Amino acid sequence: MRLSDTSHCRIRIFLDYWNFELSMRAMDNKFKNDWEKIGPVLVQATSEVIQTSQPVEFQGA
C-alpha cells in the first residue's frame, strides 16, 4: 500500500498489555518494557509498513 502525498492518515494501535507482557516475559523473565519509548517506535514502524511520505508523530494515550 502506498499513500499519496495529499492524503491524511490516522493510525490507531492497540497493544494488549497483559498478552504483550506475558509473551515477552516467557522469552526473558526479567523483561521490563519502557512504555514511553514503545509508542513512537510502533508509529515509526507502521509508517514504514504503509510507506507513507507524510510526517508521523506519536500523540500518546
Per residue in 1-58, pLDDT tens? 555 555 567 778 888 999 999 999 999 999 898 888 888 888 888 888 888 777 777 8
CB 16 within 8 A of CB 7: no
* Chain center to CA of 37: 10
Provide the pLDDT for residue 30.
Answer: 93
